[in-house]
Amino acid sequence: MTLSDAVLPAKGPASSTETRKKTVLSGVQPTGSLHLGNYVGALSVWVENQSQYNNLFCVANLHALTIPEAVNAAELRHNSRQVAALFIAAGIDPEESIIFIQSDVPAHPYLAWILGCCTPLGWLERMTQYKTKSAQAETIGSGLLNYPALQAADILLYKADFVPVGEDQTQHIEITRDIAQRFNHLFGECFPLPAPLTRASGARVMGFDDPTVKMSKSIAETRPGHAVSLLDDPDTIRKVIMRAVTDPGNETRFDYAQPGVKNLLVLYEVLSKEPRAAIEEKFAGKGYGFLKRELADLVIETLKPIQERYRQITTEPGYLDRLLAEGAGRASAIAERTLAEVRQLVGV
Ligand code: ATP
Ligand code: LTN
């Protein structure tokens, strides 16, 4: 699939020559098993556009500390490695792209502090993610509020032009632009303004058990029918998809289908790369059981090579450690340059 399948909103200012490859950065929190929504909304977009950009992909483990009650050190360590391995298994080429763990590059929390100082409290308090997550917790740490400053640091340290994410993250890219603009205004031109890179269709995959909520890692932990994990076995995948919530009926046109069916159709569209007209023709008048069976087959077929690569990566002794050390070194070299520039500008 090409870039034409993704929405490219306004570009940041051109920072050098026309021939320079633009920079992409994205990240995932290691808060649990990655699911089909993460793959469709984020990872697959990274992979499809990989050769056009200079890419950095980070495992945002410091972000995972913003809900400290949910953290178990051994689990966090395990999940961080699992997420990095899944990046590669999904098709990120570690030679071509830089894969690293956020905490291995100390410039991230350093810049986050400086950016946090430039971020008005009102901007942080307005964030949807903050409002939802703080409403669910009895006590909240200031890190949860300051989350966007750390995410802005992730992006701005590499002067990223594009941030490929699912739809739920667009507000975070907007605040990153605002923070960058405010820093530039206060201290001098330093950061280009990044833009989200979002799939035209499939940027918000809904839960199989409830098509009114976004498929999410945290919900999946307590509701087995909610998501398909990228490492689920074929039987589990089939079971979850066959039980997906759909209202009675047999409408399988994208524009008329009810949310549960639309979700299945969109998943089929992204994974098969077939045009909508062909998909509508294939499923017309066949009933939802047929759609679910075909989608389950397609998901199993899509995940099979990813799971095989994942097994290879995680069983080859030392491979992942070497790669993450190398990624941290390559990312640090860029991040340190930007941080030096920032320190000069702010006078520290
Ligand atoms: P959590 O429940 O811990 O918040 P999550 O499932 O929402 O996790 P994230 O780690 O927040 O996943 O997201 C990683 C990437 O996957 C982000 O780019 C995010 O926008 C994208 N993403 C997450 N869920 C979906 C979804 N349901 N559909 C499309 N993209 C998604
Ligand atoms: N906040 C994101 C994860 C994340 C991220 C990033 C995404 C951390 N740093 C930098 C894009 C760019 C999330 O919860 N999905």
pLDDT tens digits for range 172-206: 999 999 999 999 999 999 999 999 999 999 999 99
- In the set 22, 159, 217, 262, the catalytic residue is 217
Which two tokens mark 110? 């350093």
- pLDDT above 50 (res 2): no
Measured from CB, residues less than 6 Å from any atom of ligand 2 are: 25-29, 60, 63, 151, 154-155, 163, 165, 169, 172
pLDDT reported for residue 247 = 84
pLDDT tens digits for range 134-160: 998 889 999 999 999 999 999 999 999
Closest CA to 222 of 70, 77, 78: 70
Least-confidence region, from 88-92, 219-223, 263-267: 219-223
d(CA 119, CA 124): 8
Distance from the alpha carbon of residue 163 to the mean position of ligand 1, in angstroms: 14
Q: 191: left (phi > 0), else alpha (psi -120 to 50), else beta?
A: beta
pLDDT tens digits for range 61-110: 999 999 999 999 999 999 999 999 999 999 999 999 999 999 999 999 99
pLDDT reported for residue 85 = 98
Q: How confident is the model at residue 248 (pLDDT cuts 50, 70, 90)?
A: confident
- pLDDT above 70 (res 263): yes
State the average pLDDT for the chain.
Answer: 94
pLDDT tens digits for range 208-218: 999 999 999 98
Does residue 103 line the site of ligand 1, with CB under 6 A? no
pLDDT reported for residue 249 = 87
Distance from the alpha carbon of residue 132 to the mean position of ligand 2, in angstroms: 16
Considering Cα of 105, then 177, then 270, then 262, what sign does the dihedral take? positive
| Arithmetic mean of pLDDT, 277-287 | 96
d(CA 78, CA 237): 23
If DSSP codes are grouped into helix, strand and coil, which group holds residue 98? strand
